[in-house]
Structure 1
Amino acid sequence: MKSVLSDQVLDWVRKSVGSTTEIRSIKRLYGGTSSIVHHLSFTTGDVVLRQFDNEEWLKEEPDLARHEAESLRKAMKTSIPTPEIIAFDETGDECGGMPAVLMTKLEGTVQLKPQQMERWLAEMAESLVQIHSVQADDFPWTYFTYKDLAKLEIPDWSSYPELWGAVFDFVRVPRPQVRPCFIHRDYHPTNILWEDDKVSGVVDWVNACSGPAGIDIGHCRLNLAMLYGVSTADAFLSAYEKLAGYSFSYHPYWDLLSLIDILFGPPEVFPGWIAFGMTSLTDQMMVERLDQYMKSVLNRI
């Protein structure tokens, strides 16, 4: 079998797995944009290999492989299925120059066209409540914003520039005081796997950290608003609030902070959504839905 992975990488995988059995197949997994992911099938089981090839990201966070490995270990404390860490190469010395993480493969598939939207949202909310129930005071990675709040610029694609100015003013005020917990930091529908209309696992833990629960909720709501509209994002929040009970108190600050984190240019359809079947979305829809979502959050202040 001709492999897209080098012999050096395959030797490291075999050594890490501790298997002398043949590799039955190697398949590239698509949907993400920040790393190279392969599914390797052995006769004894399946594993997933993530290789970090984004030089800019690695320059900012050179410990990405170790970060994900420790995040996976921490995630094992939740009651939801998560990949188990097998091995990691922080420097890339053993894997041909690219830092790598090797983990077990979870069963299930991404589901972006649910037959019962209310149940689908409730399942996602329940899984997130379980993640946030994990204490993270001892976790060395902590939340930070991706944007410099002092250098925000009004997006020229928006139909409501004056409202974006209000958003910027709001996120620059002192943050609400909340108790940090374990957060996924990239919780959205394409990082959630399903089997028989039940969540079968949550993947992509490289950004996990100690931080405010509202950031996870805000990031997921933002994705839902762009995928389906504001009403779906609001329904997810309602489901989370109902399941979390007194352990969570909503504040629009975290929604708006999550919103500005994606302001790196005109909104575009995420390639992962297309890869998983959402082919009817357009960039213009993303612009309109982002504006509408921003307005809806401002109305909550």
Structure 2
Amino acid sequence: MDDDEAGALRRLTVLRPLTLAWVRRYLPDGEQIIGSEALHGGITADVRKLTIGTQDGNSRELVLRSYVDPFYVERRAQDSLSREAGALTALAGGDVTVPKLVAVDPTAAHCEYPSLLMTYLPGRTVVTDDGVEARVPLLARELVAIHAVRPVERPREYVALSTAETVVVPEGADAAAWAAAINVIRKGAPSYEGRFLHRDFQPGNVLFEVLPSSTPAAGRISGVVDWAGTSWGPADLDVAHCSANLALLHGPEWGLRFAEAYEQAGGALAATASDRLYWLVRDALALSEEVSVVSQPWREGGRADLTTRVVEERLDAYVIALMDALG
């Protein structure tokens, strides 16, 4: 074994034997895995970029998503991977650029862990403040395109796991504003016209093609990833989720402006202010339960300023802004 082969073998030791064999099963003759790199940004799954050596001496990349945490393996992996596989199939060749599904093993029948193998999309996530004013309209147009998808088979109806009782009010938050917001979601959900939802559409799942010599404002969207939560439900819910994430990343004003950008891009939201407020508040309060988890990938992506405390303060300011604007 020469030095190159030994190095490749060391890089592959992070892949378990059964998973390695499973991936190799879907490679054309003459191709081999020559590298593995962890991709940051995932919260619930281990995500790796695999470098594949091709017959002509070049290389290409695949992405392997595996659920390794026992909690997610037992309760969510099969459903999440099945939904992602269904979404990638439904979106293939459409207006929204997504990875191409290669293989899926949602029950770990062949791999050590439930896994999905897909193609790699070029681009990177951008979470800096620089260029946000140019990216927000791009995000809005992309979400309008997602909501325009009409799959042959609808995904399951959306599920909202958070409740008024599970909200975590940040220390020092405006008690009156939060009490009013919690009362909003105690009511039943408004009626809505169903749409195809990503269910976790936010800057951390959108890839931008940014030239080395350009600023983030000069980029374009090269793809959307992480379709494990694909659902059928109100467009307002996806808009609310992206709005809340933008508010925490860049400040409350950007959360408020995203809904406007979505409508300017041709999207349709709930007709009344009270119905819009319900969805916006519901998602903002849902994030209160996992502030540290949500903000960790942002810090890994270069936003060291977004400490848990800073994000809590921005969430408080956003809830106050929502209640002032629509309450």
TM-score normalised by L of structure 2: 0.85
**Alpha-carbon offset, residue 190 of structure 1:** 1.1
CA contact (8 A) 2:136 2:261 kept: yes
Deviations 1:19-75 (A, max 9, x none): 441222111111112100110111242110000123223333342221211121123
**Alpha-carbon offset, residue 146 of structure 1:** 1.5
* Alpha-carbon separation, structure 2, partners of 1:269 and 1:176: 27
Give the 5 Å matches for 1:13-24.
13-24=23-34
CA contact (8 A) 2:63 2:118 kept: yes
* Alpha-carbon separation, structure 1, partners of 2:81 and 2:121: 19
Which residue of structure 2 aligns with residue 225 of structure 1?
247
Cα-Cα RMSD: 2.1
* Alpha-carbon separation, structure 1, partners of 2:193 and 2:294: 34
CA contact (8 A) 1:185 1:207 kept: yes
TM-score normalised by L of structure 1: 0.92
Which residue of structure 2 aligns with residue 253 of structure 1?
278
CA contact (8 A) 2:90 2:152 kept: no
* Alpha-carbon separation, structure 2, partners of 1:249 and 1:105: 36
Amino acid corresponding to residue 172 of structure 1 in structure 2: R
Q: 1:12 aligns with which of 15, 22, 34?
A: 22
**Alpha-carbon offset, residue 90 of structure 1:** 1.3
Pair 1:183–1:19, CA change in 2 (3 A) = farther
* Alpha-carbon separation, structure 2, partners of 1:154 and 1:49: 34
User: Does residue 205 of structure 1 match 2:220?
Assistant: no
Q: 2:137 aligns with which of 122, 135, 157?
A: 122
Which residue of structure 2 aligns with residue 39 of structure 1?
49
Question: Does the residue aligned with 2:204 lie in a helix, a strand or coil?
Answer: helix
**Alpha-carbon offset, residue 268 of structure 1:** 6.5
Which residue of structure 2 aligns with residue 295 of structure 1?
320
Q: 2:208 aligns with which of 190, 194, 200?
A: 194
Q: 1:161 aligns with which of 175, 178, 185?
A: 175
Give the 5 Å matches for 1:1-301.
1=8, 2=10, 3=12, 4-44=14-54, 45-61=60-76, 62-76=78-92, 78-96=94-112, 98-113=113-128, 115-135=130-150, 138-149=153-164, 151-153=165-167, 155=169, 157-196=171-210, 197-245=219-267, 247-249=268-270, 251-264=276-289, 270-299=295-324, 300-301=326-327
Amino acid corresponding to residue 229 of structure 1 in structure 2: G
State, as a whole percentage, how many aligned pairs show the same letter: 29
CA contact (8 A) 2:295 2:306 kept: no
Amino acid corresponding to residue 139 of structure 2 in structure 1: M
Greater C-alpha radius of gyration = 2
* Alpha-carbon separation, structure 2, partners of 1:234 and 1:154: 22
User: Which aligned runs of 4 or more in structure 1 are off by greater than 4 angstroms?
Assistant: 265-269
The structure with the greater share of residues assigned to helix is 2
Pair 1:102–1:269, CA change in 2 (3 A) = closer
The unaligned stretches of length 5 or more in structure 2 are: 1-7, 55-59, 211-218
Pair 1:284–1:79, CA change in 2 (3 A) = same
